A and B are shown apart, each in its own frame.
Chain A
Amino acid sequence: MRLDELTRPDFPILARIVNGQPLVYFDSGASSQKPRAVLEAMTRYYERSHANVHRSIHTLGEEATELYELARDSVQRFIGAPSREEVVFTRGTTDGLGLIAETIGRTLGRGDEIVVTELEHHSNLIPWQLVARDRGAVLKAVPILADGTLDLAAFDRLLTRRTRVVAFAHVSNVVGTINPVAEIVRRARAVNALTVVDGAQAAPHLRLDMSALDCDFYVFSAHKMLGPTGIGVLYGRRAVLDSLEPGRGGSEMIKEVWIDHAQWNDLPWRFEPGTPPIAEAVGLTAAIEYLEKLGMDRVTEHERALTRQTHEGLARIPGVTVYGPPPNVERGAVVAFAVDGLHPHDVAALLDAEGIAVRAGHHCAMPLMRRLGVVGTSRATFSVFNSPDEVALLLTAVAGLRSVL
């Protein structure tokens, strides 16, 4: 049985009719849809067990705490983290990257260097711009080659003894490049730089193993991987997390407080001030269990087949340009394309009239758009519930677009 045949009945939203057509949802890269198991787990939690976590000495408080901390164990298992203390919950990828940039930023001095890449989502660029501005640090970017992969020779030339941080995406949210994380980490570590990986477009699609990637920090969101909005994960290598002062203060992250100072809590709570997203953590557990039941290798294989079908099909349509590495290279579950003579927003609007949801615009990666020489692109992204038939609908619709406008 194909994965989509197995999963489609689990996604209530796929019953939607949009503009008279059954919904074809190719925007999971922005935010995926949710299986019933996630929705029901969150409802069940709110109906039966909701209370604040950690300091509520009553039955519901204990249940809520147990469920919240169970999510941490689920994430630890899902990403192959050596210990649960290395899993910090955030509000999402942007929040996690901002948190770690602020936290590392405090340790930087004038002339220290931060290396990012031309592929980055603004969420892994702007926080470092702010840090560089505040600390007098220098921000450098690894250029990309014509095929959308990183220029690793140029990366080597950018690394110096002043390089303190290398921050980069695991998978590009536009061109789908899968960066060689372990190799980049190895080179960064040779100059004693910390590594921060934006895993937003990888966690929903690839089997993750923090021990193998060996990075210092890895950040992702639940809502792109079948889970709820409002919660994300910051994985941090214990030795590094332990050495950092908390970036943000509040309740939960302290042991003892005086008016003029405080003693920080243990990991991971030191980095989780305030009431956390508890129901969202419950939803994340359900999403992880759902993906684990399917098997991440099977998920990767299914989405790769859809990506390849889309890439090859679009490339055959006259006047259509597809960006990024060729279809025979391993890519993320994303295909960015342009239709000659049509603006990406108009492409998205015309496809929406057929019930097909794609994204259009700069995809929060303006430097990459500039590098590609475009204002924006249209972008189709895939999840476990998408089918080859849906891809065929997209290809037919795109082929007919130029006669419409």
Chain B
Amino acid sequence: MSGATPSAPGGLYSDVIRDRWRRPRHRGELPGANAVAEDVNPLCGDRVRMMLAVAPEGLITEARFVGDSCAICTASADVVADLVSGRSRGEAAALDVSDVLAVLQAEIRPTRMRCATLPLSVLGQALDGRAKP
């Protein structure tokens, strides 16, 4: 392709996004998850479900996601799962979009920001909800 290079460092599709889109580390079902939430991006219909395994003392032992989502949303969900694994509920709830963007290393334009923030919003819903028995 000619013209601007959206895959160049600092572009929309950073190396991190392309890598996590092709090979997400945390994609898939999580049997035994006890904090789960799912939501859609009304702009595009993308759907993400976050699943957390939370130990009784509040430590997130594992996080996984599934969904129909674009490269940015998928990479963001993968990063969110990375960031919350091994953290406490409180630490996970304090995660900010800037933490995710720092890992993604991409120039997310306003029209695509919701793609990047949807997984965080779903994480918040999973943490707010009553843990399933």
- Known contacts A343-B71, A405-B13, A405-B21; decide if A350 and B6 are in contact (CB<8 Å): yes
Cβ of A366: which chain B residues have Cβ within 8 Å of it?
45
Q: Does A376 contact B (CB under 8 A)?
A: yes
Q: Does A311 contact B (CB under 8 A)?
A: no
Would you give the shortest CB distance from B95 to chain A, in whole angstroms?
24
Q: Name which residue of chain A comes closest to B5, CB basis.
A: A353
Would you give the shortest CB distance from B130 to chain A, in whole angstroms?
29
Whether the pair A353, B3 counts as a contact (CB closer than 8 A) is yes
Whether the pair B46, A375 counts as a contact (CB closer than 8 A) is yes
Q: Does A213 contact B (CB under 8 A)?
A: no
Cβ of A376: which chain B residues have Cβ within 8 Å of it?
44-45
Q: Does B102 contact A (CB under 8 A)?
A: no
Stretch of A93-101, A135-143, A214-222, A354-362 that contacts chain B:
A354-362
B-side interface residues, number (CB < 8 Å): 25
Cβ of B11: which chain A residues have Cβ within 8 Å of it?
353
Whether the pair B112, A349 counts as a contact (CB closer than 8 A) is yes
Whether the pair A20, B4 counts as a contact (CB closer than 8 A) is yes
- Known contacts A375-B68, A405-B21; decide if A354 and B3 are in contact (CB<8 Å): yes
Q: Does A21 contact B (CB under 8 A)?
A: yes
Q: Does B117 contact A (CB under 8 A)?
A: no
Q: Does A329 contact B (CB under 8 A)?
A: no
In Å, the complex CA distance between A400 and B1 comes to 6
Q: Interface size for chain A: under 10, 10 to 19, 20 to 34, or 35 or more residues? A: 20 to 34
- Known contacts A361-B45, A362-B44, A375-B47; decide if A404 and B1 are in contact (CB<8 Å): yes
Cβ of B104: which chain A residues have Cβ within 8 Å of it?
none
In Å, the complex CA distance between A157 and B130 comes to 47
- Known contacts A19-B3, A397-B1; decide if A346 and B70 are in contact (CB<8 Å): yes
Q: Does A207 contact B (CB under 8 A)?
A: no
Considering the complex, which residues of chain A in the window 360-405 have a beta carbon less than 8 Å from any beta carbon of chain B? 360-362, 366, 369, 375-376, 397, 400-401, 404-405
In Å, the complex CA distance between A376 and B70 comes to 10
Q: Does A345 contact B (CB under 8 A)?
A: yes
Whether the pair A361, B44 counts as a contact (CB closer than 8 A) is yes
Would you give the shortest CB distance from A21 to chain B, in whole angstroms?
5
Whether the pair B69, A343 counts as a contact (CB closer than 8 A) is yes
Whether the pair A353, B18 counts as a contact (CB closer than 8 A) is no
In Å, the complex CA distance between A251 and B38 comes to 47
Whether the pair A405, B71 counts as a contact (CB closer than 8 A) is yes
Q: Can you list 22 pairs linking A and B with CB atoms under 8 Å apart?
A: A20-B4, A21-B2, A21-B4, A343-B74, A346-B71, A346-B72, A349-B6, A349-B12, A349-B13, A349-B112, A353-B3, A353-B12, A354-B4, A361-B43, A361-B45, A362-B45, A375-B45, A376-B45, A404-B1, A404-B6, A405-B7, A405-B71
Chain A residues within 8 Å of B, Cβ to Cβ: 19-21, 343-346, 349-350, 353-355, 360-362, 366, 369, 375-376, 397, 400-401, 404-405
- 3 smallest CB-CB distances across A and B, nearest first, come from A343-B70, A19-B4, A353-B6
Chain B residues within 8 Å of A, Cβ to Cβ: 1-7, 11-13, 18, 21, 43-47, 68-72, 74, 112, 115
